[in-house]
Structure 1
Amino acid sequence: MKNPKFRYFLLTLITLLLLSNTSFGQHQFKALVFSKTKGFRHQSIPDGVVAIKKLARDNVFDVFTTEDEDFITDKNLAGFDVIILMSTTGTIFNSDQKKSIEKFVQSGKGIVGIHSATDTEYEWEWYTKLIGAQFRNHPHQQTLKLNVVDRNHPATYHLPEKWVWSDEIYAFKNFNADVKVLITADENTYKTGNGMGDFHPIAWINEYDGGRMFYTALGHTDWAFLDDNFMKHILGGIWWAAKGYPVD
């Protein structure tokens, strides 16, 4: 090459590309954040998406975000280890897209549901069993005591046994008793309206149909995604769903 400036530019570009590819190869896993809504749309969704991008940056995993249900194909999902449903609502997927998600889970991969992921796909029985419940109702936003009943999971290692938190507290129907509950709500500490009684699950995991699912009902508000405890809760759930390491 006769032009030294061009040669220098080309060498620099090649070096940057090689460094980029090396960095990508070192990442632990790849997550798809899906935030489509066809019902109520939470104002906190953009904050949640940005927060997970920051988690990915700081905790060495890759993330791709979309609200396009047509992206959900066997070919596209093959490149991911976990799908994060960020406050999805309503009936979203057609039959082919549902089959692609089922195959994804059956291949040993993970799903993470945040907040209104339980307010999604009420007519899809497989999904209801996977996510663990269906949203029933909620009272107004309040502060309450959460009981961290299982602290032997990456989503709860860091949490106190009694966690004071403010949120929109979901009550559920069609609850899957096979899930493993991590956190419950103390209904004696807030005005429940039509609550669930002494056993009110708020976060749980589910090893189902070959894959793993982590769900937390928390995350209604924008500021939740600025809270260190909550983001560690989310990170632990993502890590477990993506990696599949056993938790004793």
Structure 2
Amino acid sequence: MKKILMTLCAWLLLAGAVHADNQYKVLVLAMPGKYHYEYIPIARDSFEQLARLHAFELTYTSKPEVFDGDLGQYAAVVFLNTPGEELSEPRRRKFEDYMRAGGNAMLVHRALIIPANTWPWFEKLVGRTIGNHPMLQTGVVEVVDKKFPATYGLPQRWLWSDEWYVSSNPHHIRIEPVLNVDESTYDPTKIWPGQVSTGMGRDHPVAWYHRVEKGRVFVTALGHNGEMYRDPQYLHHLMGGLYWTATGKGIEP
């Protein structure tokens, strides 16, 4: 019996030490949508691996009720293919308060799209208003800012297939682009019947960062397909963005 108790105590001490090694805590909200649902179990597995590898604590959920709790415990809140409109009015206010208190946010792909005037504050959080997009195509992503962590590990020109979101800036938000897409490498007009897409020209950001309230915000428009969340380069991109968002560190001087 004594030996069992000693073994149990040793295990508890070890578990406590592992927990203590976590550097910060991250909340990931990943809700299924009409076009985005298959990514959830794949992304969860990848985020859990990133959490183990980089020693941070992860809360990964599809339940918006998590916003009823203490958001202040999280170094960053990630909206993973989940737009802000999924939050009720009281939860929206709680998230705004979290950002005003120095919280940080990371927005991935479908999270960028919210109907006009639904939640103007969230549109400003994104930094751009997303319109339509051409059909998913292979294109070339260009690194704009080599000094930002979300570009570490990426080649200067990166072959990638995605929905190349077209955006505008009605709120006049200043962003810091880190990745652009080269529109000459795909057809910006290739879209479904009855719709029109003209592209954005040379300046077409697909990932950027900026500051909102007292917090940091990283945004990436990339990440449409579930299989992308198994791609090492894409995961490097996500982890670099998350690292800066949660800590404010990593930007090369």
The residue that corresponds to 1:100 in the other structure is 94
The Cα RMSD (Å) is 1.9
Does residue 126 (structure 1) correspond to residue 130 (structure 2)? The answer is no
What is the correspondence of 1:1-248 to structure 2 with a 5 Å cutoff? Answer: 4=1, 7-37=2-32, 40-73=35-68, 75-89=69-83, 91-120=85-114, 122=116, 123-174=118-169, 176-193=172-189, 194=197, 195-245=199-249, 247=251, 248=253
Displacement after TM superposition at 1:31 (Å): 0.7
Report deviation, 1:223: 2.0
For 1:136 and 1:42, the matched residues in 2 are separated by 21
CA distance in 1, matches of 2:147, 2:106: 18
The answer on whether the counterparts of 2:112 and 2:130 sit within 8 Å (CA) in structure 1 is yes
Shift of 1:162: 1.4
**C-alpha distance in 2 between matches for 1:185 and 1:49:** 27
State the aligned residue count: 242
Q: Give the letter aligned to residue 151 of structure 1.
A: K
Q: Deviations over 1:32-64 (max 9, x none)?
A: 110124654342232122211111111111101
Q: Distance in 2 between matches of 1:172 and 1:43?
A: 25
Q: Retained in 2: the 8 A contact 1:92–1:121?
A: no
Runs of 4+ residues deviating >3 angstroms: 37-40, 173-177
For 2:181, give the aligned amino acid. A
**Quick one: which amino acid aligns to residue 170 of structure 1?**
Y
Contact 1:35–1:66 under 8 Å retained in 2: yes
- The TM-score normalised by the length of structure 1 is 0.90
> Per the alignment, in what secondary structure is the counterpart of residue 153 of structure 2?
coil
Take 2:23 and 2:236, find their aligned partners in 1: how far apart are those partners?
A: 17
The letter of the residue matching 1:181 is P
After superposition, the Cα gap between the structure-2 partners of 1:44 and 1:189, relative to the gap in structure 1 and judged at 3 Å, is: same
Hey, what's the Cα distance between the residues in 1 that align with 2:84 and 2:152? 32
TM-score (norm 2): 0.89
Unaligned stretches of 5+ residues in structure 1: none
Task: Determine the C-alpha separation between the residues in 1 that align with 2:67 and 2:144.
Answer: 35
Identity score, percent: 31
Q: Shift of the alpha carbon at 1:97?
A: 0.8
Letter in 2 for 1:104: Y
